[in-house]
C-alpha cells in the first residue's frame, strides 16, 4: 500500500483521486486551502489518514504547508492537483504580487517539490491547453503583458510539464510525470465537459500506486493512462532549467539538485 499526498483534494478531481486511493486501502493525506476546507476534505473521504491546509497562492503558506506534510513523514507519491482555471478575466494579484493562476498552478508545485521530503513518485496535473502556451518564459508575473486569463492558464500548464520533466532529469531516483486529466465535468471543467468524470483521476492514481511497467516511467506526459504527445518545447533542457531559475528568483527557494 502507498502513502500519498494530494493537493487541492477538497473537491473535483483531487477529491475523486483521494477517494479512489482510500477505497483501495492506501494511506491518503488530503489538502484544503484553509483549515475548514481541509477538515471538509477529510470528512468527505472516509478512510483518509489526515488533512493539512495552506493557501497555495501564498509563498509563505506554501512553505508552511510543506513543513506540515513533512511532519507526517515521507510519502510514496505526491499528486500536484490543485489548480485555478482559465476564467479569471482580470489579473488577480496575490499578496506576493503574483498572478493568482501562476502562483497556484505553477509556483506552488515548484515550492512543494523543493521542500517536501523527496517521494518515490511525483505527478503534476497539466492540461492539453499547455500546447497554447507562450514558451518564452518572459514576464511570468504578467507585469508587462496585457492580461489574458486563458493564456495565463495555458502558460501555467506548460510550466507544470517543464517542471515534471526537469524533476525527472535532475532526480533519476524519482518517477516524475505530467498528466492531462481530460476535460471532465468538475466545477472547473463545467457541465458541458465531454469526458467522463471517473476518468479524471484514474491516471494520477495509477501513476502514484501501480506496479505495472507502464507506470514505472519518468519524464512522460499522460492522458487517460496512455503516453501522449506534448508540446515539443517541454523537452528543451534550457527552458526547463530556466523555469527552475525563475521560480527560485521569485520564491527565494533553490531547487535541490
Backbone angles phi, psi at 93, to 5 degrees: -95, 135
Phi, psi of 6 (to 5 degrees): -125, 120
How many CA atoms does the CB half-sphere of 16 hold within 13 Å? 16
Tell me, yes or no, if 153 is annotated catalytic: yes
C-alpha distance from residue 112 to each of 54, 146, 239 (Å): 11, 29, 20
Q: Where are the beta strands (DSSP E) in 70-209?
A: 77-80, 121-125, 175-180
Q: What angle do CA 60, 65, 71 make, to 5 degrees?
A: 135
Distance CA 98, CA 167 (A): 23
Cβ pair 141, 250 in contact under 8 A: yes
Q: For residue 139, what is its C-alpha cell?
A: 514576464
- Which of 157, 159, 220, 221 is catalytic? The answer is 157
Residue in 10, 11, 45 with CA at minimum distance from that of residue 28: 45
Judge whether 208 and 5 are in contact, CB under 8 Å: no
Q: Which of 153, 159, 220, 221 is catalytic?
A: 153
Instruction: Look at residues 64, 49, 69 and name the one whose alpha carbon lies nearest to residue 7.
Output: 69
**Alpha-carbon distance values, 119 to 25, 74, 115 (Å):** 19, 6, 11
| Catalytic annotation, residues | 153, 157
Amino acid at each position: 500500500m502507498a502513502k500519498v499526498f494530494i493537493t487541492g483534494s477538497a473537491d473535483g478531481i483531487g477529491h475523486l483521486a483521494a477517494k479512489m486511493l482510500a477505497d483501495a486501502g492506501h494511506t491518503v493525506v488530503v489538502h484544503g486551502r484553509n483549515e475548514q476546507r481541509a477538515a471538509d476534505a477529510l470528512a468527505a473521504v472516509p478512510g483518509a489518514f489526515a488533512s493539512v491546509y495552506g493557501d497555495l497562492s501564498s509563498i509563505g503558506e506554501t512553505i508552511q504547508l510543506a513543513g506540515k506534510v513533512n511532519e507526517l513523514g515521507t510519502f510514496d507519491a505526491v499528486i500536484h492537483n490543485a489548480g485555478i482555471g482559465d476564467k479569471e478575466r482580470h489579473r488577480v494579484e496575490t499578496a506576493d504580487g503574483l498572478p493568482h493562476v501562476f502562483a497556484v498552478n505553477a509556483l506552488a508545485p515548484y515550492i512543494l517539490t523543493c521542500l517536501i521530503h523527496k517521494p518515490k513518485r511525483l505527478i503534476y496535473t497539466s492540461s492539453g491547453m499547455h500546447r497554447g502556451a507562450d514558451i518564452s518564459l518572459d514576464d511570468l508575473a504578467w507585469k508587462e503583458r496585457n492580461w489574458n486569463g486563458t493564456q495565463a492558464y495555458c502558460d501555467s500548464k506548460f510550466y507544470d510539464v517543464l517542471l515534471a520533466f526537469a524533476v525527472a532529469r535532475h532526480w533519476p531516483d524519482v518517477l516524475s510525470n505530467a498528466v492531462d486529466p481530460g476535460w471532465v465535468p468538475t466545477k472547473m471543467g463545467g457541465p458541458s465537459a465531454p469526458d467522463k468524470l471517473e476518468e479524471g483521476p484514474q491516471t494520477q492514481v495509477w501513476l502514484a500506486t501501480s506496479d505495472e511497467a507502464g507506470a514505472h516511467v519518468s519524464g512522460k506526459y499522460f492522458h487517460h493512462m496512455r503516453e501522449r504527445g506534448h508540446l515539443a518545447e517541454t523537452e528543451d533542457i534550457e527552458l526547463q532549467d530556466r523555469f527552475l531559475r525563475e521560480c527560485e528568483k521569485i520564491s527565494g527557494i533553490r531547487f535541490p539538485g
